[in-house]
């Protein structure tokens, strides 16, 4: 293409082993078929890694992907995806970040940055338009992410440089270490910070001065403006703008879905924990509103504690996932502490949503006598013990003593502990999560078929989806399979265009207001390529099936698409659904409906050959045949 609109048209490749840095053109075929961001990342990961790839070896890839909308004016067009084979799960790993970093990579002229190899010494990657160099990072090793960002900016003499750094957790190969952007819109999940550490890569720093061109500026502005005007009318918009995802604490508590003490409890009286609700603490501690690049929604808040033992602690308001994982899961209902430990997790570079459930598993083992103080280096793993939680997180990041076991992640840590600890390690495909929504069956279906493990960001149908009628709990209607598939496409499109999901039907938008049709309009106006709703759906189908094929190539089958053990075996402890569990037989029938719609084989859960070939992915089908995936289909 003589001139790219939306896309920049360049993939940057960095081989850390040799120091070789090259630029290659982005092909139209790759861009049009996989869009960008998560989509192109997943295609590259599929093509360049496989079952024999060690997630911590030099052959693994670390892929930073922007989307065609990244860096443009509009709707939360700040997002980027970082992808690699996950050291936590051993399958596809990726995480979505926001803030300013992705836009800066795009301004430097790159759609994707593909990093391979392992540097012989500790380095960071400096991207400054055409100047791309590896710089010594020995002096940065051992520093927190906050310290690293400051030192890099000082060294390069530019306060506006955007960074993506690892902390001690990534350096010490904690399996769920996260890279932290300078403004902490964190791509937290699946251990991409651990992959960076394995490559001796301390950080990526970016500065760009180039424009992102729009094919039809008037049309693009019109489409985006209308979308934002519609957002302003959405019922949840003001609440989310004011307090972000923290409104979910109260919501989930009301419907008995707030994870407490490793989900042994799901609700507390509001009079007891009301100070933990976002409605209570955000207005009290708010300093200023902040936002990611090019976002008028401004759901981020900068807060500072001005009383109590954590007075002076300040930073970005924690998300619900951090507060549920590192507070309520551990029997703590204190926002000031939530800010303190979220800041610590970000400084250490560690995924709160894996760290919390991992610690909660250990706390329950301690409660039940499986672990003693002798096992935990003298730490009393008692629910609500804030100082122990802080200290244990530090030990995990530094792999000190008992922290070294928990650094492996919830599932592998439970295996190392033994003595029945596995019973209290809740996960899907090796990935833990604080969300439950056990009684809302379509949400659970979205969790189990997601392509990177337990996940609310890959196709979760929330109860506000009105076309299915009022929310019905314990309902296994096969219509939900179609609803999940449609949500998967909405989330895949958002991740590949790199539009913030909060501004789509995933969160704020009513059904039909922020879905595929609207994103197709944005993509067409931006790129000048005619993306119909059908064409974008097909691209999303292609992306999702490549990801499912990657899982199948790594041995993931239907039997792995299952809810966590406690969803099936442990009766709900409270609320209107007290005593109930998921009906396994009915749930399996719902999975059958999803496999049929997705074009997957119901015996294996893998994409069928004809499905892949219809998407132009014959070589992927050939790969699956070579590893025996289709043998079970013939039985």
> What tokens appear for 216 in the block?
């039809």
d(CA 67, CA 41): 10
Q: How far apart are CA 467 and CA 480, in angstroms?
A: 11
pLDDT at 510: 61
For the cut 90, the answer to whether the pLDDT of residue 86 exceeds it is yes
Neighbouring C-alpha atoms within 13 Å toward the C-beta of 511: 12
Containing 228, the helix (H) or strand (E) segment is helix 217-232
pLDDT tens per residue, range 403-427: 999 999 999 999 999 999 999 999 9
Q: Any idea which residue has 């938008």 for tokens? A: 509
Question: In 10 A of CB 73, how many CB atoms?
Answer: 15
Q: Which residue has the higher pLDDT, 330 or 184?
A: 330
pLDDT over threshold 90, residue 111: yes
6-20, 203-217, 298-312, 419-433, range with the lowest pLDDT: 298-312
What is the structure's pLDDT at 294? 85
* Residue range 537-592, pLDDT digits in tens: 999 999 999 999 999 999 999 999 999 999 999 999 888 889 999 999 999 999 99
Confidence of residue 238 (pLDDT cuts 50, 70, 90): confident
DSSP 513-569: TSSHHHHHHHHHHHHSS---HHHHHHHHHHHHHHHHHHHHHTT--GGGS---HHHHH
Q: Given a cut of 70, is residue 633 above it in pLDDT?
A: no
Mean pLDDT of all residues in 30-59: 99
Using pLDDT thresholds of 50, 70 and 90, give the confidence band for residue 237: confident
Q: What is the pLDDT of residues 581-629, one digit of tens each?
A: 999 999 999 999 999 999 999 999 999 999 999 999 999 999 999 999 9
Strand residues in 160-247 grouped as ranges (E): 162-165, 180-181, 201-207
DSSP-assigned letters across all residues of 270-288 = HHHHGGGSHHHHHHHHEEE
The mean pLDDT of 155-175, rounded to a whole number, is 98
Q: What is the pLDDT of residue 265?
A: 95
In total, the chain counts a number of residues equal to 635
Q: Mind listing the pLDDT tens digit for each residue in 501-540?
A: 888 876 655 666 668 999 999 999 999 999 999 999 999 9
Q: Say which residue, 187 or 462, is predicted with more confidence.
A: 187
Which comes out higher in pLDDT, residue 586 or 254?
Answer: 586
**Predicted confidence band at 471 (pLDDT cuts at 50, 70, 90)?**
low
Tell me which fold the domain 10-207 belongs to: Aldehyde Ferredoxin Oxidoreductase;  A, domain 1 (3.60.9)
- Do 345 and 326 meet the contact criterion of CB atoms below 8 Å apart? yes
* Residue 472 banded pLDDT, cuts 50, 70, 90: confident
Contact between 428 and 564 under an 8 Å Cβ cutoff? The reply is: yes
**Which range has the worst mean pLDDT, 129-133, 184-188, 199-203, 503-507?**
503-507
CATH topology assigned to domain 234-424: 1.10.569
DSSP secondary structure letter of residue 11: E
- Per-residue confidence (pLDDT) for residue 465, from 0 to 100: 57
pLDDT at residue 182, rounded to an integer: 87
**CA–CA distance from 623 to each of 19, 556, 612 (Å)?**
31, 14, 11
**Which pLDDT value is given to residue 217?**
97
Please list the residue range(s) of the chain that carry CATH number 1.10.569.10: 234-424
Which position has the token pair 């924690």? 318
The pLDDT value recorded for residue 443 is 92
pLDDT tens-digit readout, 265-281: 999 999 999 889 988 88
Query: Where are the CATH 1.10.599.10 domain residues in the chain?
Result: 441-634
Distance of alpha carbon 35 from the chain centroid: 19
Confidence of residue 32 (pLDDT cuts 50, 70, 90): very high
Q: Is the pLDDT of residue 94 over 70?
A: yes
Mean pLDDT, rounded, of the chain = 94
What confidence category does residue 468 fall into, taking pLDDT thresholds of 50, 70 and 90? Answer: low
CA distance 307 to 309: 7
- With CA atoms as reference, report the closest residue to 467 among 479, 457, 459: 479
Instruction: Transcribe 450-478 into DSSP letters.
Output: -BTBS-SSSS---TT-GGG-S--TT---T
pLDDT at 299: 85
How far CA 555 is from CA of 30, 90, 498, 561, 564, in Å, comes to 27, 10, 29, 12, 19
Q: What is the pLDDT of residue 576?
A: 86
HEC profile for 99-127? Answer: CCHHHHHHHCCCCEEEEECCCCCCEEEEE
Q: Where, residue-wise, is CATH 3.60.9.10 in the chain?
A: 10-207
Of 482, 443, 484, nearest to 582 by C-alpha is 443
DSSP character for 323?
Answer: H
Residue 13 clears pLDDT 90, i.e. is over it: yes
Question: How many helical (H) and strand (E) elements, i.e. helices and strands, does the chain have?
Answer: 25, 14
Smallest CA-to-CA distance from 174 within 194, 154, 192 is with 194
CATH number of the 441-634 domain: 1.10.599.10
Q: Rounded to whole angstroms, how far apart are CA atoms 612 and 606?
A: 10
pLDDT tens-digit readout, 371-414 = 999 999 999 999 999 999 999 999 999 999 999 999 999 999 99
pLDDT average, residue stretch 431-446: 90
């Amino acid at each position: 293409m003589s001139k790219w609109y939306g896309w920049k048209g360049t993939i940057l490749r960095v081989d850390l082993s040799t120091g070789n840095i090259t630029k290659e053109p982005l092909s139209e075929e790759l861009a049009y078929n996989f869009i960008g961001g998560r989509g192109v990342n997943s295609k590259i990961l599929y093509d360049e890694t496989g079952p024999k790839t060690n997630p911590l070896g030099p052959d693994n890839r670390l892929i930073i992907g922007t989307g065609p909308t990244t860096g443009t004016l509009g709707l939360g067009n700040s997002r980027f995806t970082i992808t690699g084979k996950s050291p936590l799960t051993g399958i596809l790993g990726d995480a979505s970040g926001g803030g300013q970093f992705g836009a800066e990579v795009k301004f430097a002229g790159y759609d994707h940055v593909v990093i391979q190899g392992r540097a012989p010494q500790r380095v960071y990657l400096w991207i400054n338009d055409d100047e791309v160099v590896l710089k010594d990072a020995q002096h940065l090793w051992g520093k927190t992410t906050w310290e690293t960002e400051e030192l890099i900016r000082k060294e390069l003499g530019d306060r506006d440089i955007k960074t993506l750094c690892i902390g001690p957790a990534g350096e010490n190969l904690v399996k769920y270490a996260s890279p932290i952007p300078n403004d902490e819109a964190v791509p937290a999940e699946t251990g991409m910070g651990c992959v960076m550490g394995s490559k001796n890569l301390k950080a990526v720093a970016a500065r760009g001065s180039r424009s992102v061109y729009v094919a039809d500026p008037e049309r693009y502005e019109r489409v985006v403006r209308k979308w934002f005007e519609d957002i302003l009318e959405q019922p949840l918009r003001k609440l989310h703008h004011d307090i972000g995802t923290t409104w979910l604490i109260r919501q989930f508590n009301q419907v008995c879905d707030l994870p407490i003490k490793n989900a042994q409890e799901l609700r507390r009286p509001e009079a007891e924990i009301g100070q933990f609700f976002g409605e209570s603490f955000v207005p009290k501690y708010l300093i200023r509103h902040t936002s990611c690049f090019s976002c008028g929604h401004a759901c981020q808040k900068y807060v500072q504690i001005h009383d109590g033992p954590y007075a002076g602690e300040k930073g970005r308001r924690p998300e619900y996932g951090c507060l549920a994982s590192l507070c309520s899961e551990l029997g703590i209902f204190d926002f000031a502490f939530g800010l303190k430990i979220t800041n610590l997790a970000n400084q250490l570079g560690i995924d709160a949503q894996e760290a919390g459930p991992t610690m909660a598993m250990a706390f329950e083992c301690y409660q039940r006598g499986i672990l003693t103080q002798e096992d935990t280096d003298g730490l009393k793993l008692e629910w609500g013990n804030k100082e122990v939680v802080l200290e244990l997180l530090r030990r995990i990041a530094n792999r000190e003593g008992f922290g070294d076991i928990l650094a492996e992640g919830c599932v592998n840590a439970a295996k190392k502990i033994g003595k029945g600890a596995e019973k209290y390690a809740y996960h899907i495909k090796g990935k833990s999560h604080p969300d439950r929504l056990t009684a809302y069956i379509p949400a659970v279906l979205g969790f189990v078929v997601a392509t990177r493990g337990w996940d609310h960001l890959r196709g979760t149908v929330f109860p506000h989806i009105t076309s299915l009628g009022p929310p019905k709990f314990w309902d296994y209607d096969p219509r939900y399979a179609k609803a999940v598939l449609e949500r998967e496409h909405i989330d895949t499109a958002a991740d590949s265009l790199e539009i913030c999901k909060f501004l789509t039907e995933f969160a704020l938008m009513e059904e039909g207001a922020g879905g595929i049709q609207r994103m197709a309009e944005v993509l067409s106006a931006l790129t000048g390529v005619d993306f119909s709703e059908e064409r974008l759906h097909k691209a999303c189908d292609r992306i999702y099936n490549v990801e499912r094929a990657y899982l199948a190539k790594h041995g993931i089958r239907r039997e792995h698409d299952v809810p966590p053990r406690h969803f099936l075996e442990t009766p709900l402890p409270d609320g209107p659904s007290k005593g109930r569990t998921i009906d396994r037989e009915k749930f399996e029938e719902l999975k059958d409906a999803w496999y049929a719609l997705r074009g997957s084989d119901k015996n294996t859960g893998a994409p069928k050959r004809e499905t892949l070939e219809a998407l132009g992915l014959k070589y992927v089908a050939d790969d699956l045949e070579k590893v025996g995936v289709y043998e079970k289909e013939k039985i």
